[in-house]
Amino acid sequence: MDDVKTLDTETVFATLTPAEAVASLREALAGDFDPSDDIPRTISDISAGNMIFMPSEIGNWVGVKLAGVSVGNPERGLPRIMAQYLMYDSTTLELRTVIDGAALTTLRTSAVSLAAVEPALNRFTQPVNVVIFGAGPQGTGHADTIADVLNVELADLTFVVRSPNQVTADVHDRGRVLQAQTAEVDAALRVADIVVTATTASEPLFSADLVKPGAVVMACGSHDPHSRELPAELFTSAMVIVEDLSTVLREGGDVVLAIADGTLDAESLVTMKRFSNGEITAQADQTVIFKGSGMSREDLAVATRLVGKA
């Protein structure tokens, strides 16, 4: 084990910028990388929440993420997700690198969202308004990645949370914080160019009529087919981008439930590979929705770039 490299949280974020993580995914998507080729992850329920096993192989590397999701951890002052990422030589299967899995997940999740929708961000030529539901690692991660990737300035960045008094100083440093389910949130949504949902909600967080046509919406809060953050009506005339068709129909509650409600046709779903590569484009005034749940090859694509720079 003496020759095994360890990358802790600080090293992960110091080594790879959010924009570099996005670029690593878009470059991979431009080649033969396809999330649909992924090994399905295994999710097992346990008393504290669930354990997730996510293996994948790309080139010289085999990577495995072992993640534990403890629903009670936020009340304990601990992260909801605890994880380790193990990287092995693909030929010998010798362990080479251990990466802090929670940090990699934070970096990867927001990078996937932005890699999926980045072509649609070119529609914004003026400073944009951003509303993010959730102020945990994924909420702040999306804020940092949006700021790093956009070619225009942020006019306003708003975090929407259930308990503003529990929000940490680093969140306030990034933007303003509003109490959920208030008139202020509705007003912010009506002018939002970009909306992110990164919560544990199981029911829609807002009404569809609050989102203006042409907004870009990224939903990454769950991988549960019975939970949704977005209202079904939002899908009616939107272009809906997903990582992989079989995965989203198995795990993406926002999509699964919208299809069940009759507001979305499964045949209209667009994979992020096709959208990222420009095979399919959206009209400038068409709402674009990305529903992501995270896939193993995405972790490994970002981890490979990370290890190459560390």
Could you list the residue range(s) of the whole structural domain that residue 17 is in? 5-105+297-309
Residues 171 and 124 in one domain: yes
210: number of CA atoms within 13 Å, CB side?
20
Distances in Å between the Cα of 212 and the Cα atoms of 13, 56, 60, 222 are 34, 38, 45, 24
Q: How many other C-beta atoms can be found within 10 angstroms of the C-beta atom of residue 127?
A: 12
Residues 258 and 144 in one domain: yes
Q: Give the pLDDT confidence score for residue 153 in this predicted structure.
A: 95
Determine the Cα–Cα distance for residues 231 and 254; give it in Å rounded to an integer.
8
Q: What is the CATH number of the domain that holds 13?
A: 3.30.1780.10
Residues 120 and 153 in one domain: yes
Q: What is the CATH number of the domain that holds 208?
A: 3.40.50.720
Residues 75 and 122 in one domain: no
CA angle 158, 160, 163 (to 5 degrees): 130
Residues 98 and 186 in one domain: no
Q: Give the pLDDT confidence score for residue 3 in this predicted structure.
A: 86
Question: What is the number of structural domains in the chain?
Answer: 2
Residues 134 and 275 in one domain: yes
Mark out the alpha helices in 122-271 (DSSP H runs): 137-149, 169-174, 183-190, 245-251, 253-261
Q: What is the pLDDT of residues 163-191, one digit of tens each?
A: 999 999 999 999 999 999 999 999 999 99
Residues 273 and 159 in one domain: yes
Residues 250 and 268 in one domain: yes
Residues 101 and 144 in one domain: no
Residues 234 and 140 in one domain: yes
Residues 195 and 237 in one domain: yes
Model confidence at 1: pLDDT above 70 = no
Q: What is the pLDDT of residues 222-252, one digit of tens each?
A: 888 999 999 999 999 999 999 999 999 999 9
Q: What is the pLDDT of residues 205-229, one digit of tens each?
A: 999 999 999 999 999 998 889 999 9
Residues 136 and 275 in one domain: yes
